[in-house]
Amino acid sequence: MNDAMPERQTARHENLSPQLAACPGAAKPARSRPPRVECGDLPFLIKRDGTWLYRGSPIGRKEMVCLFSSVLKRSADGDYWLETPVERGRIQVEDVPWIAVELDWSGNGRDQVLSFRTNVDQVVAAGAEHPIRVKHDYLTCEPTPYITIRMSESIALEARIGRAVYYELVALAVPGLVAGRRVLGVWSQGQFFSLGDLPHGSDCDCEA
């Protein structure tokens, strides 16, 4: 790992990274909190597969990735930031920050609960606060599913649902109606989430 990368797993959020610590005008925490310092662009990149890079090198320690994930924010314009009480810096994200790598479910029908675990061990249950959405490629119609992990400034921080997990969702899917359209979808915590339109001519015993 790059020597400049912080090695202490217990590093304080106020000393998030060497780049943040070296930010011009950065102040150490004091009894009266100083104004937050803007550090500009930081040399972090989250790749589409969920790998975090620092100065082009993968961050191999999961504990460090989890630490950075805990202070990840998103501004209303869609930019991603690592943000502590005293400083923040913008980072690059190829798609979304996390991947949903595991699915657990219990119950049936409207009482079903779908729980997802991400690659940084965040666990959320799909529902009103953690909706599932599916984006379809305009040319290929290939589905790409996402789930909201948390909100930041009224904009969602999401995990992309991994392919294997998506196949599990499809296996749990039932017919339904969304805005008058016949779809296949899944129930979780009383919410119905569409995974895609039903093929024309399919028999549909749909629930509203």
Q: How far apart are CA 46 and CA 58, in angstroms?
A: 9
DSSP for 144-167, please give it.
EEEEEEEEETTEEEEEEEPHHHHH
**Averaged confidence pLDDT in the chain:** 85
What pTM, to 2 d.p., does this model score? 0.81
Tens-place pLDDT, residues 59-117: 999 999 999 999 999 999 999 999 998 999 999 999 999 999 999 999 999 999 999 99
Residue spans in the chain of domains classed CATH 2.30.270.10: 98-197
Position 194, amino acid: S
Superfamily (CATH H level) for 98-197: duf1285 protein (2.30.270.10)
Position 79, amino acid: D
In this prediction, residues 175-188 reach a mean pLDDT of 92
Which whole-number Å values give the CA distances from 163 to 58, 82, 122, in the listed order?
Answer: 23, 28, 18
Residue spans in the chain of domains classed CATH 3.10.540.10: 13-93
Tens-place pLDDT, residues 84-96: 989 999 999 999 9
In terms of phi and psi (left: phi > 0; alpha: psi -120 to 50; beta: otherwise), the region of 138 is alpha
Collapsed DSSP state (helix, strand, coil) of residue 60 = coil
Tens-place pLDDT, residues 10-59: 343 444 555 555 554 444 555 566 677 899 999 999 999 999 999 999 99
Q: How far apart are CA 62 and CA 118, in angstroms?
A: 12
Which whole-number Å values give the CA distances from 124 to 110, 128, 174, 179, in the listed order?
Answer: 18, 11, 22, 26
Which CATH architecture best describes the domain 13-93? Roll (3.10)
Q: Are 183 and 192 spatial neighbours (Cβ–Cβ below 8 Å)?
A: no
**Phi, psi (deg, nearest 5) at residue 55:** 50, 40
